[in-house]
Copies of this chain bind each other. A is one copy, B any other.
Amino acid sequence: ANQALSVLNIQSHNSFNSLVSQLLTQRKIPSKGWSDQLIEHFLHELSLMDSNNYQDRAGVGEREGRVLSSIVNRRHYYMAHGIGRSGDLFSIQPKAPGSSLILKLTCYMAKHAIKLAGIDKLDCLVLPLATGMALTMCLLSLKSSRPQGKYVIWSRIDQKTCLKCISSAGLIPIILETQLQGDSVITGDLESLLKTINPLEIVCILSTTSCFAPRSPDDVQRISELCKELNIPHVINNAYGLQCSKIMHMIKEALRLGRVDAIVQSTDKNFLVPVGGAIISSRDKKLLENINSSYPGRASMSPILDLFITFLTLGENGYVEILKNRKKLVVEFREKFADIGNKHGERLLDIRDNSISFALTCRNNDLGAKLFVRRVSGCRFVGDKEKEVCGFRFRSYGSSFDGYPNSYLTAACAIGLTSDEMNLFFSRLDQLLE
């Protein structure tokens, strides 16, 4: 029996160990994805490092990583300590070195993923908070170094979260109204607005890149140049922008020419994991350290574990491939959407720089609901409806522009969409438009 086990060291384990050691040395997404078997084996190895899994241990703290349910234990691979210590969210937890290692590696791999998506040398925090709360954390952190700061200048984008993340932080939003250019809703006159406010009272400007048509990504280059000039922090809400090379290029230019303090991305929208995580990336290590060290206490490790597993599953090749696939599909998506529109007397709106979300003029205000019943989710009908959010009233809510001239239906060609799904959508849409 002992002889047989020696085979293990010679054949299989060498190869497993060399994969692990590559990961630990290179600190990036492995070039080729790992099998589920190898990933789970690695997770078990790591979890054995956590003190709650030591043999013959005695835990006499008030929290000792005990897990009652075996279902819960299994689904977390016996890791129970979460991340963080009172001091710091990302420091090594001596009771849980395995979990801590996963957190570190996930941040490194996130950095690598963002490089693959187009921007190099961005440090990353992966937070177990979705985009909205991650933005709130950025704002709270920036505020702590802006003693007079109380305002956030917010380029209007009609998603509640984007406004609520400001008031959640106890700050006051100042709305930068958008402008219409052709069909596109674009960044408004920031220069004039800035002349009316004391820059020291501005915590930051919050711009948005990934957004629903007919809104275009904000002109982050221009914004960042103004921020640099006036010494105002700049946070970019890039929720699902990693999948779009055009957006990534715009942010790259903003970083090169102006001031960008933090860029916030969703993990679920970019990497196909369940909702619950965000990546804050920055060239300013101090800001990240500040967020890190001001986080009060511990946090769930679950969203980080999901991302860790997904990076290993995908591999560099896999991630590059799904980015390419979307790029290819977008061309087809746009064409077919326009064709079906034309067929039924509607028109695909021509939105500058938005290659994720598309909008088709539409007179039928219950089309979204009808599509949902036919198992098409994600379409939104937008007409001339007013809405109140955080005490502000917006007209044509959804379009990000008061009095947007068209009613329309949006649909997105986001990462992960399959060709089959797209065709299913178009055929159902086609039927309903008749």
Which A residues are within 8 Å of any B CB, using their own CB? 1-2, 4-5, 7-8, 11-13, 15-16, 19, 24-25, 27, 36-37, 39-41, 44-51, 53-76, 78-84, 86-87, 92, 94-95, 97-98, 100-101, 104-105, 128-133, 135-136, 140, 143-144, 159-161, 164-165, 167-170, 210, 212, 239-240, 266, 268-269, 271-277, 294-303, 306, 309-310, 313-314, 356-357, 372, 375-379, 411-414, 416-417, 421-422, 424-425, 428
Q: Is the CB of B58 within 8 A of A422?
A: yes
Task: Indicate how many identical chains form the complex.
Answer: 4
Complex interface: chain B residues within 8 A of A7 (CB): 49, 97
With the chains together, A82 CA to B130 CA distance in Å?
9
Given A71-B39, A161-B297, decide whether A48 and B16 contact each other with a Cβ distance below 8 A.
yes
With the chains together, A165 CA to B273 CA distance in Å?
29
Q: Is the CB of A82 within 8 A of B414?
A: no
With the chains together, A341 CA to B82 CA distance in Å?
34
Q: Is the CB of A277 within 8 A of B295?
A: no
Given A274-B67, A300-B277, decide whether A268 and B60 contact each other with a Cβ distance below 8 A.
no
Given A313-B68, A376-B57, A417-B60, decide whether A49 and B12 contact each other with a Cβ distance below 8 A.
yes
Q: Is the CB of A296 within 8 A of B60?
A: no
Q: Is the CB of A303 within 8 A of B300?
A: yes
Question: Can you spell out 18 A-B residue pairs with CB atoms less than 8 angstroms apart?
Answer: A1-B101, A4-B100, A8-B46, A11-B54, A37-B47, A51-B375, A57-B375, A58-B375, A65-B274, A67-B273, A68-B271, A68-B313, A80-B268, A82-B130, A86-B132, A86-B164, A130-B298, A136-B296
With the chains together, A140 CA to B137 CA distance in Å?
12
